[in-house]
Amino acid sequence: MSEFVMSIGGESVSAKETFGVVNPATGEVFERAPECARDQLDAAFESARRAFATWRSDEGDRRKALLGIADVLMASAGELAPIITAEQGKPLTDANMEIFGAAIWCQYFANLETAPEVIQDDDSALVQVVRRPLGVIAAITPWNFPLLLAFWKIAPALLAGNTVVIKPSPFTPLSTLKVVELLQAALPAGVVNAVSGGDLLGAQMTSHPVPRKISFTGSVETGKKVALAAAPDLKRVTLELGGNDPAIVLDDADPVVVGKAIFSGAFSNNGQICSAIKRVYVPDSLYDEVVEVLADCAAAVKVGDGTDSESQLGPINNLPQFERVKELVADALNNGATAVTGGGAMDRPGYFFEPTILSGLSDGTRIVDEEQFGPALPVVKYHSLDDAIVRSNATNFGLSGSVWGTDVVRASAVASQLECGTAWINTHLGLAPSQPFGGCKWSGLGVENGKWGLSEFTEVQAFYQSRTADGTNPLMALLVE
Ligand code: NAD
C-alpha cells in the first residue's frame, strides 16, 4: 500500500498493484506508486469527460481556479520539493524552483487574453474567429522536470476549457500524484485526474476513445509511437521531443565569459534538459581556452545527494539513462576523445556520474550525433564557420541552439541560420511562459507556452452572424453569378 494515490473523479484512489520508485541518489526503492488498472483509466477519462460539460462554460471561474492552483503549489512547496528530490535526484533548491516555476506558469495562463478575433464587421456580417476547447486532454510527461512540464500542459489546457488526465513518468510519479491530490480541493471533481503506471499505461491512454488530444513530452522514439496511436482517431497531438542542441562559439567571443555560460547551459539539471547544450563548436583560435574554462567549471561543481545543501548537481535520474551516458562517454573515449575532466561513473551508490568535458572528437562520434541527456559535453573544433553551421544543422533534431560572440549583429546572423525552434544569442535556456517552445524536424510537432501554446488546446471556429435582410452573403452572390 502506498501513501501516494491517484486522483480520479475527485476521489483519492489506490490500486491493487503498485510499482517501486527508486531514489537515484541511492539506487534503492524508497516508495511505491499505484499501477493504474484498465478500468481505473476508463474511470479517469469518463470523469474528465463528464467534468468537461460544466468546466468549459465559465472562463472567469477557470482563471480563478488557475490562480488557486498557483497558490496551492506555492503553499505546498515544503511538502513537494523533498518528493521531487527523492524521486528525480535534483537538489532541493532546484526542486523548489521547479515548483515556483509551475506556479508562475499557472499565473501567466490565468491572465492570458483570449478575446475572439473579429475578421469582418460591416453591413453584411459580423465574422469572428473563436477558439473552442477540444474536450479531454491526455497529458504524458517525462522524468526530468516532473512538475514544471506537467503544468506546461495543465495550465493552458484548463484555461482553454479542457479537462485533463495526466500520467507522469514511472521514474517520477510521486510529485505529480501528490500535487494533483492537493489540487482536488481547489477544482471541481474530474477536471484534473492523475493516474500512474508504466509505458503500457501511456499506450493505453493514446489509443483510448475519450481524449481528443494527446499532449506529450518525451523521447523522439516514443513521440513517433504516440503520433501513430493518435492517427486512427485523428486525435490532436503536441509532441515535445528530444534535442541535440548545438552552441556555436564565434572567434570574437570572450572564452572565459562564454565558457562559464555554456557550462551552465549544458549542465543545468545535470544535463537532463531537452534543450540543454549537447555539443559545442569552437573555432581553432579559441578551442584550448574554451575547453579549459569548461573543464574548470566541471571540476569545481559540487555533485551530491540532492538533500545535501552543498550539492549543485544530483545523480542521473535512472539506471537506463545512467547506463546510456556511461556507454556514450566510453564510446567517445574508445574513439580517440579525451576526458579533460570526468569521464566515468562516481565510486558511490546511486547513479552519480562525473561532470565530463570531452575534447578531440568530431561529428560522427555517437555522443556528438546523439542526444546524451546527461552530464557529459563534447567540444568540437571547427575551422570554417560555414562548416560549423552546416554541421549544427546536419541532424534530425531541431529543438534549439545558440550562438556566442561579441558582435551581436554577426552572432544574430549566424543564429538565424539554425534550423531549430528556439535560437539564442549569447545565452541558452532563456525560457518564459509567454514564449513559444517547440522543435523543428524530429524534435517535435507544435509548441507549448504563450498564446501559440494555448491555441494548441483549442480548435478554431468561424462564428458568422449575417446582417443582410435575407441571409445572403454578397461575396458568395458575386461568385455564383
Ligand atoms: P520517454 O519517451 O521514455 O517517456 C516519456 C513518457 O512517455 C513517460 O511517461 C512514459 O511512460 C511514456 N510512454 C512510454 N512509452 C509510451 C507509449 N508507447 N505511448 C504513450 N506513452 C508512452 O522519455 P523520457 O526518457 O521519460 O524523457 C526523456 C526524453 O524526453 C528526452 O529525449 C528529452 O529530450 C525529452 N524531453 C523533451 C522535452 C521538450 O519539451 N521537448 C522536455 C523534456 C524532455
Q: Of all protein residues, whose CA lies closest to atom 26 belonging to ligand 1?
A: 142
Residues with catalytic function: 240, 274
User: Which three cell numbers mark 178?
Assistant: 501528490
Q: Is the minimum distance from the CB of 444 to ligand 1 under 6 angstroms?
A: yes
pLDDT digits (tens, 9 = 90+) for 35-85: 999 999 999 999 999 999 999 999 999 999 999 999 999 999 999 999 999
CA distance 59 to 110: 10
pTM: 0.97
Q: How far is the CA of 151 from the centre of ligand 1 (A)?
A: 16
Instruction: Pick from 166, 172, 222, 435 the residue to mutate for probing ligand 1's pocket: most ligand atoms within 8 Å of its CB.
Output: 222
- For residue 127, what are the CA distances in angstroms to 179, 242, 455, 465? 42, 40, 19, 6
pLDDT digits (tens, 9 = 90+) for 379-436: 999 999 999 999 999 999 999 999 999 999 999 999 999 999 999 999 999 999 999 9
Q: How far is the CA of 239 from the centre of ligand 1 (A)?
A: 10
Q: Is the minimum distance from the CB of 199 to ligand 1 under 6 angstroms?
A: yes
Q: What is the pLDDT of residue 472?
A: 87
Angle at which helices 174-183 and 146-160 cross, to 10°: 40
Q: What is the pLDDT of residue 1?
A: 44
Nearest one of 3, 2, 4, 1 to 174, comparing CA atoms: 4
CA distance 417 to 79: 45
Q: What is the pLDDT of residue 169?
A: 98
- For residue 52, what are the CA distances in angstroms to 9, 130, 158, 201, 472? 12, 18, 10, 22, 36
Q: How far is the CA of 255 from the centre of ligand 1 (A)?
A: 35
Q: How far is the CA of 208 from the centre of ligand 1 (A)?
A: 18
Nearest one of 181, 171, 163 to 146, comparing CA atoms: 171
Q: Is the minimum distance from the CB of 211 to ligand 1 under 6 angstroms?
A: no
205 Cα nearest atom in ligand 1: 20
Instruction: Pick from 274, 317, 324, 437 the residue to mutate for probing ligand 1's pocket: most ligand atoms within 8 Å of its CB.
Output: 274
pLDDT digits (tens, 9 = 90+) for 426-476: 999 999 999 999 999 999 999 999 999 999 999 999 999 999 999 888 888
Stretch 290-302: mean pLDDT: 98
